[in-house]
Amino acid sequence: MLVGVFDSGKGGQIVAERLQKFFPQHEFLVVNDRENLPYGDKTTAEILRLTDAAIQPLLTQTKIIIIACNTVTAVAIDDLRAKYPDHKFIGFEPAIKPAVSDSKVEKIMVLATPATLRSNKYQNLKQRVASGVTVIEPDCSTWASKIENGQFSNQDLEPIVALANEEQVDEIVLGCTHYLDVEQELRNTLPPTVKIVEPVAAVARRLEAVINELKQDSSASLSAVSTAQAGSE
């Protein structure tokens, strides 16, 4: 089965490569919108318009589209689902819920774009699952562009790592797929006691469920057609 993946930039390719390890039997088609990156500092209307235009090639080739962009998921995925009800959209959101699942966790740091952090979807998620936990949201507004353009360096990591150490955070949530590109650098720089949480495994579980749903729907349709043909003979 062909699965579409969309992101504003290189995060989509990173996600597709990781998902391919979970689903070697399926193909992944990636499209991006590097020309208009970053999305994190744009308005909701701009993000929806740009995403709608960028995913058009995917809409004609597959019924499953992974929105490998936390920003688009946060502000536009509900509109996309309403506009294209025949397609299955799977989104990315900051993995706050798994990060706070351990009762010993007292502080987490969420690394995300400004658009994600100010979105209603993110704010509702945080209020729903992390009400008893301190959530620190440092400024990462330049990260996506720097990672995309190969300009990210340890100097960009230093203030985040310093803040994480100062606040003694228990876990760090990667709330932008671009940040997967620097995950290992974070792991190498942070104390080993700080856990880094990323959402690809959770998205893989959701993708498996959606693929199974479509297979069941397809089998049911074929069965209905066969029954109708038999009745007309």
Specify the amino acid at residue 229: Q
Q: Is 65 in a helix, a strand, or coil?
A: strand
Ordered structural domains, the chain, with CATH: 2-92 (3.40.50.1860), 96-197 (3.40.50.1860)
Q: What is the pLDDT of residue 112?
A: 95
Rounded CA separation 137/128 (Å): 17
Ordered per-residue pLDDT tens for the chain, 233 residues:
999 999 999 999 999 999 999 999 999 999 999 999 889 889 999 999 999 999 999 999 999 999 999 999 999 999 999 999 999 999 999 999 999 988 899 999 999 999 999 999 999 999 999 988 999 999 999 999 999 999 999 999 999 999 999 999 999 999 999 999 999 999 999 999 999 999 999 999 999 999 999 988 766 554 444 444 445 45
| pLDDT computed for residue 229 by the predictor | 46
Residue 68 to residue 176: CA distance in whole angstroms: 9
The residues annotated with a catalytic role in the active site are: 69, 176
Give strand ranges (E) for the chain. Answer: 2-7, 27-32, 64-67, 88-91, 107-111, 134-136, 171-174, 195-197
Lookup: tokens for 53: 């235009």
| Global confidence as pTM | 0.86
Tell me which DSSP letter residue 86 carries.
T
Residues in the chain: 233
Provide the pLDDT for residue 131.
Answer: 87
Q: What percent of the chain has pLDDT over 90?
A: 85
65-111 pLDDT, tens digit per residue, is 999 999 999 999 999 999 999 999 999 999 999 999 888 999 999 99
In whole angstroms, what is the distance from residue 38 CA to residue 23 CA?
29
